[in-house]
C-alpha cells in the first residue's frame, strides 16, 4: 500500500468516518478501533457504540454501551473478546519478556540482564528463562558437495579454467552436482527464480535453488545435449548507469539493483596498507603536532624535549667517565706496575697523562641524490580540502521521517522495504572504522545500498521556511554510520568511504552505542566522556570527507545504569537540547553584519536561507504512530524524528505519517511484507543455499520484532505505546494469530512459506529466552 491512502480502502482505519464522536488523532481513547475493510476471520466484528446522545436522548434510548476497562500503565489494553483466558476465566499474563529483554537488539546492545526473571512468573525458574541468549549459533547452510567456481556460471561443455588444476577438491561434474550435490529446487514463488524474473539473469548460476527456471538443454551437432544457463538481461542497470551484464563481468560481488559495491582489489589494498590515504595521514600528523603543543603549554608536568634530555644524559655519562679515570691511581696497588708508579710519584715525578679520547666519529656520507627528471620540474597541483560551506547541502524537515541506524536489523532488504513504504532517509548498520581500514569484507558489505536509496528524499518545506541553495536532485536517502575510539581510525575510515563509496549522503559518527565491546574501548557512547577527542574526530572527518557532510548521533546520557527501554524516552530533555541548539542559531544570527560575524566559508553546509541556515537537530525515541510523530515534532522542537523499534515492529509507520491516520493492516497485507522481505533478501544475498540461509536468518530476526505488533482494531485505547506489553490474545483469524506468536518455531514456519524447508544444519536461537507465550496460549 502506497503513501497515498484512501480512507475507505480495505485495511485502513479512519477515525473521522467512525460513528463514534471521539477522536483518535489526538491521543484520546478509541472505542472501538475497527477497520473499515472486510473481516479476514470468522470472529464477529465488535459492535459499534454510540457514546453520546444527540437531541437530548436519554441513556436508555442509546445503543448498549460496552463496559470500559480502566487503562493500566504499561499494558496494551486489548478488547475483551480477543483475550486468551485460562480455565478460571482469568486473563493470561503478558506474552513474556520479549518486549523488554531483547529491545536492545535494535542497537546491538547486550543489556547484561542474563538473570532477569520473566514477567510476573517469579521464582528461580522464571529467572533462568529470562534474559538474552548470547553467542548465538546459526549453523551453516551449504551444499552437500562444493561446486568449483570455474563451473558455477559456465555452460556444461565450456567451463572456465580452474586455477587450482588437479589440486582442486571441488566438484567439476555439473550433472553430478545437480543430481547429488545439492538439495532439490524450491516450489515457492511458483518455482521461478525471483532474481531472474526481475533482472533476466541470476548471479547464483548453477547453485541457484530455482535453477530449473533459467536453464535448458541444447542439442549439439555431435548429438550430445549440453546444459546451459538462460540469460535475458533487461535494460536494468547496476545503479551507476552501467548495464547489469557489464557489472557482473567486472565484479562477482555485484548484484542487480545494488550500489556501493567496493571492488575486491580496493579491499586488498586496504588490507595490505597500499591504499592512498595521504590526506588523512597529513592531517593526522598536523593533529599530533597540535596535541603535543597543547600538552606542552597547558600540562602542569612538562617534559623536556627529547633532544635536550638526550644531551643532558650524554653530559652526565661523560662526567662520570672522567671522574672514574682520575680516581684510579689513588686506589690501592694490586700489581708491580702500580707499585713502581707509586714510588716514582714519591720522588716527585709527574704521573703519566691519561690517554687522549678517541677522535669523534665522522658523520656518514650522504648518498648522492638521483639526478632530477622532467617530472620534478612539472608544476605540482595540490587539491585543497573542501571548506564546510562547499560541501553538499543537507535538508531535514517534517516530511523526512528517518529510519535510525540499526545493528543487524537495519540490513539492505529491510531498508528497501521501509523506503518502499515511505521512509525518506536511511542509515547503514554501524561499521567499525578499524575493520573498514583493514579491508574486512563483512564491514564493507554494510556500505551496500539499493538503488531506491539513491533517489532524492521528499522536499516540501513549510511555507514559513525559505530554503535556498539546496539542490534536491543531488541529494539522496542513504547515509553511513561508523564507530571508532581513536581520531585516526575515524579520519582514515571517512576518507576511504568518501573515495570508495560513490552513493553516500553523509557520514555519521556513532556517539551513542552502548555495546560493551565498543563503549569500554572508548568508542560509541564513551566518546561523550572525551569531548576533546570527539572534536578532533569530527574536525578531521570533515577535512577529508570531500563534499560528503559529517554528522554525529549522540546519546542522552552515559552514566545511568537503569535499563533504557523500561521507561519512555525523555523527550523533555530532548526538547531542552533542541532549545539549546536554537539558541546557538539565534546567537549566530545576532552577529550577522557585525565585525564578530563568522566567516561564511567555515559554516556548516546546511540549506541557506532566511530561516534554514542553521544547525539541524533530530530526535529519536519511542515513535510508534503518526500522532506521536507530530507530537514529538511540536513539543520536542526538532527538525525531524528518527524511528527505530517502531519501524521494526510496523514498517508501514512511514505510510501512517504520510497519510496522517492509523492503518489497520490485515494479516494478508502483513504477510505480503514478509514475502517482500524474502524476495529482497534473495536479491541481495543470492538464491543459492548460502543466500537462502542468510535471508532466512535475517527474516527471522525481523519476525522477532514484527510479532510484537498488536493490530489497532484490537486495541481499546489509541495511540499505542511502544513500551506497552500486551496480554496473550488471539487475532481476528488464524493468520493474524500466527503472526503474533512469540514462539520462534512459528517464525520458522512462516519463513518456510517463502524459502522452503530450512537446511538440516540451520539453527536459529532467538535473542530472548522466554517462550512463555506458548504456555499461556494453551492455558
Say yes or no to pLDDT of 570 above 90: no
CA distance 760 to 140: 9
Enumerate domains of the chain plus CATH numbers.
1-139+621-779 (no CATH), 165-260 (no CATH), 276-286+387-557+570-609 (3.20.20)
If you average pLDDT over every residue of the chain, what do you get? 77
The residues with which 227 forms a beta bridge, in sequence order, are 217
Say yes or no to pLDDT of 65 above 60: no
11 contacts 37 by C-beta, under 8 angstroms: yes
29: three-class secondary structure by DSSP: strand
CA distance 775 to 307: 75
The pLDDT score that the predictor gives to residue 605 is 60
Please, which residues have CB within 8 angstroms of residue 273's CB and are 6 or more apart in sequence?
Answer: none
Say yes or no to pLDDT of 232 above 80: yes
The residues with which 482 forms a beta bridge, in sequence order, are 431, 509
Give me the mean pLDDT over the 151-164 stretch.
89
24 contacts 678 by C-beta, under 8 angstroms: no
The pLDDT score that the predictor gives to residue 768 is 60
**For the whole model, what pTM was predicted?**
0.76
What is each CA distance from 401 to 414, 550, 641, 675, 686, in whole angstroms? 16, 19, 6, 24, 30
The pLDDT score that the predictor gives to residue 515 is 84
Cite the active site residues. 513
pLDDT band at 285 (very low <50, low <70, confident <90, very high): very high
pLDDT in tens, 109-142: 443 333 333 333 344 444 444 455 566 667 677 8
Please, which residues have CB within 8 angstroms of residue 723's CB and are 6 or more apart in sequence?
Answer: 74, 99, 565, 566, 567, 568, 622
pLDDT in tens, 427-460: 999 999 999 999 999 999 999 999 999 999 999 8
CA distance 196 to 218: 20
pLDDT band at 24 (very low <50, low <70, confident <90, very high): very low
Please, which residues have CB within 8 angstroms of residue 99's CB and are 6 or more apart in sequence?
Answer: 708, 723, 725
pLDDT in tens, 672-716: 999 999 999 999 999 999 999 999 999 999 999 999 999 999 999
- Tell me which of 372-376, 406-410, 689-693 is least confident: 372-376
Q: Residue 703: which of 667, 671, 668 has the closest Cα?
A: 671
The pLDDT score that the predictor gives to residue 90 is 72
699: three-class secondary structure by DSSP: helix
Q: Which residue has the higher pLDDT, 668 or 349?
A: 668
Give me the mean pLDDT over the 582-590 stretch.
80
pLDDT in tens, 77-89: 999 999 988 777 6
Say yes or no to pLDDT of 544 above 70: yes
Q: Is 314 buried (19+), middle (13-18) or exposed (0-12) by CB count in 10 A?
A: exposed
Cell numbers given for 22: 471521539
Q: Across the chain, how many H-helices and E-strands are there?
A: 24, 12
Q: Which residue has the higher pLDDT, 16 or 616?
A: 616
pLDDT band at 422 (very low <50, low <70, confident <90, very high): very high
What percent of the chain shows pLDDT beyond 90? 45
Q: Residue 333: which of 320, 350, 345 has the closest Cα?
A: 345
The pLDDT score that the predictor gives to residue 14 is 41
175 contacts 211 by C-beta, under 8 angstroms: no
Amino acid at each position: 500500500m502506497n503513501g497515498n491512502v484512501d480512507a475507505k480502502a480495505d485495511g485502513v482505519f479512519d477515525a473521522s468516518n467512525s460513528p463514534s464522536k471521539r477522536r483518535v488523532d489526538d491521543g484520546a481513547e478509541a472505542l472501538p478501533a475497527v477497520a473499515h475493510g472486510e473481516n479476514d476471520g470468522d470472529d464477529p466484528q465488535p459492535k459499534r457504540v454510540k457514546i453520546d446522545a444527540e437531541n437530548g436522548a436519554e441513556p436508555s434510548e442509546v445503543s448498549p454501551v460496552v463496559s470500559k476497562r480502566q487503562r493500566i500503565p504499561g499494558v496494551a489494553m486489548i478488547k475483551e473478546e480477543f483475550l486468551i483466558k485460562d480455565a478460571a476465566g482469568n486473563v493470561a499474563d503478558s506474552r513474556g519478556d520479549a518486549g523488554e529483554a531483547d529491545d536492545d537488539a535494535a542497537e546491538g546492545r547486550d543489556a547484561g540482564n542474563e538473570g532477569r526473571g520473566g514477567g510476573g512468573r517469579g521464582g528461580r525458574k522464571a529467572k533462568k528463562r529470562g534474559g538474552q541468549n548470547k553467542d548465538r549459533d546459526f549453523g551453516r547452510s551449504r551444499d552437500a558437495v562444493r561446486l568449483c567456481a570455474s563451473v558455477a556460471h559456465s555452460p556444461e561443455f565450456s567451463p572456465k579454467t580452474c586455477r587450482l588444476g588437479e589440486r582442486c577438491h571441488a566438484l567439476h561434474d555439473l550433472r553430478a552436482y545437480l543430481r547429488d550435490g545439492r538439495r532439490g529446487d524450491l516450489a515457492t514463488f511458483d518455482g521461478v527464480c525471483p532474481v531472474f524474473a526481475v533482472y533476466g539473469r541470476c548471479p547464483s548460476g548453477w547453485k541457484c535453488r530455482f535453477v530449473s527456471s533459467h536453464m535448458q538443454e541444447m542439442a549439439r551437432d555431435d548429438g550430445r545435449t549440453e546444459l546451459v544457463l538462460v540469460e535475458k538481461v533487461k535494460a536494468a542497470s547496476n545503479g551507476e548507469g552501467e548495464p547489469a551484464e557489464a557489472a557482473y563481468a567486472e565484479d562477482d560481488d555485484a548484484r542487480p539493483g545494488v550500489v556501493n559495491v567496493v571492488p575486491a582489489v580496493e579491499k586488498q589494498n586496504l588490507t595490505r596498507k597500499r591504499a592512498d590515504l595521504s590526506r588523512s595521514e597529513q592531517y593526522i600528523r598536523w593533529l599530533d603536532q597540535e596535541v603535543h603543543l597543547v600538552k606542552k603549554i597547558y600540562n602542569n608536568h612538562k617534559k623536556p624535549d627529547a633532544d635536550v634530555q638526550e644531551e643532558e644524559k650524554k653530559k652526565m655519562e661523560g662526567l662520570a667517565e672522567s671522574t672514574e679515570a682520575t680516581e684510579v691511581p689513588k686506589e690501592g696497588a694490586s700489581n708491580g706496575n702500580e707499585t713502581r708508579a707509586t714510588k716514582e710519584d714519591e720522588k716527585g715525578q709527574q704521573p703519566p697523562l691519561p690517554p687522549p679520547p678517541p677522535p669523534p666519529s665522522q658523520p656518514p656520507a650522504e648518498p648522492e641524490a638521483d639526478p632530477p627528471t622532467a617530472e620534478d620540474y612539472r608544476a605540482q597541483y595540490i587539491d585543497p580540502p573542501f571548506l564546510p560551506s562547499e560541501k553538499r547541502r543537507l535538508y531535514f524537515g517534517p516530511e523526512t521521517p528517518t529510519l535510525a541506524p540499526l545493528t543487524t536489523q537495519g540490513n539492505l532488504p529491510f531498508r528497501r522495504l521501509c523506503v518502499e513504504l515511505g521512509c525518506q532517509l536511511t542509515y547503514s548498520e554501524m561499521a567499525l572504522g578499524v575493520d573498514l581500514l583493514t579491508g574486512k569484507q563483512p564491514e564493507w558489505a554494510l556500505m551496500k545500498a539499493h538503488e531506491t536509496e539513491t533517489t532524492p528524499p521528499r522536499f516540501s518545506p513549510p511555507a514559513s521556511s525559505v530554503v535556498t541553495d539546496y539542490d534536491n536532485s543531488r541529494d539522496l536517502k542513504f547515509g553511513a554510520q561508523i564507530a571508532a575510539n581513536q581520531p585516526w581510525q575515524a579520519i582514515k575510515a571517512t576518507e576511504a568511504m568518501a573515495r570508495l563509496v560513490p552513493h553516500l549522503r553523509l557520514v555519521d559518527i556513532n556517539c551513542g552505542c552502548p555495546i560493551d565491546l565498543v563503549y569500554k574501548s572508548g568508542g560509541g557512547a564513551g566518546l561523550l566522556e572525551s569531548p576533546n577527542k570527539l572534536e578532533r574526530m569530527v574536525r578531521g572527518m570533515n577535512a577529508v570527507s570531500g563534499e560528503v557532510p559529517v554528522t554525529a548521533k549522540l546519546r542522552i546520557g552515559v552514566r545511568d545504569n537503569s535499563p533504557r527501554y523500561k521507561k519512555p524516552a525523555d523527550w523533555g530533555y530532548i526538547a531542552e537540547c533542541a532549545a539549546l541548539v536554537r539558541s546557538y542559531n539565534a546567537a549566530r544570527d545576532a552577529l550577522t553584519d557585525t565585525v564578530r560575524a563568522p566567516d561564511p566559508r567555515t559554516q556548516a553546509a546546511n540549506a541557506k536561507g532566511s530561516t534554514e541556515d542553521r544547525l539541524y537537530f533530530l530526535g529519536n525515541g519511542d515513535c510508534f504512530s503518526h500522532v506521536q510523530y507530530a507530537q514529538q515534532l511540536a513539543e520536542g522542537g526538532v527538525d525531524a524524528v528518527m524511528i527505530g523499534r517502531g519501524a521494526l515492529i510496523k514498517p508501514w509507520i512511514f505510510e501512517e505519517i504520510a497519510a496522517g491516520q492509523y492503518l489497520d493492516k490485515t494479516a494478508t497485507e502483513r504477510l505480503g511484507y514478509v514475502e517482500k522481505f524474502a524476495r529482497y533478501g534473495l536479491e541481495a544475498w543470492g538464491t543459492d543455499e548460502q543466500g537462502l540461509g542468510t535471508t532466512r536468518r535475517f527474516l527471522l530476526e525481523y519476525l522477532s520484532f514484527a510479532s510484537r505488533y498488536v493490530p489497532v482494531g484490537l486495541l481499546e485505547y489509541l495511540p499505542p505505546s511502544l513500551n506497552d506489553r500486551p496480554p496473550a490474545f488471539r487475532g481476528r483469524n488464524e493468520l493474524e494469530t500466527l503472526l503474533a506468536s512469540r514462539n520462534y518455531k512459528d517464525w520458522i514456519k512462516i519463513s518456510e512459506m517463502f524459502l522452503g524447508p530450512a537446511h538440516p544444519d540451520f539453527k536459529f536461537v532467538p535473542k530472548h529466552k522466554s517462550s512463555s507465550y506458548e504456555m499461556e496460549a494453551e492455558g
